[in-house]
Amino acid sequence: MPTLEEIEKLIEVAKDSRKNAFAFISRRPKGAAVLTKDGQYFGGCNTENAISGLGTCAERSAVDHAVVHGCYEFKALALVYPKIIFPCGACLQYLTQFSQINSKDIDIILSDLKGNYKTYLLSVLLPHGFRTTKNIAKLKSYSHKS
Round to the nearest angstrom and report the end-to-end CA distance of the chain.
34
Question: Does 59 participate in catalysis according to the annotation?
Answer: yes
Annotated active-site residue in 6, 12, 48, 59: 59
Chain-centre distance for alpha carbon 65 = 10
Half-sphere exposure of 102 (CA within 13 A, CB side): 13
Closest CA to 77 of 45, 48, 42, 112: 42
The residues assigned a catalytic role are 59
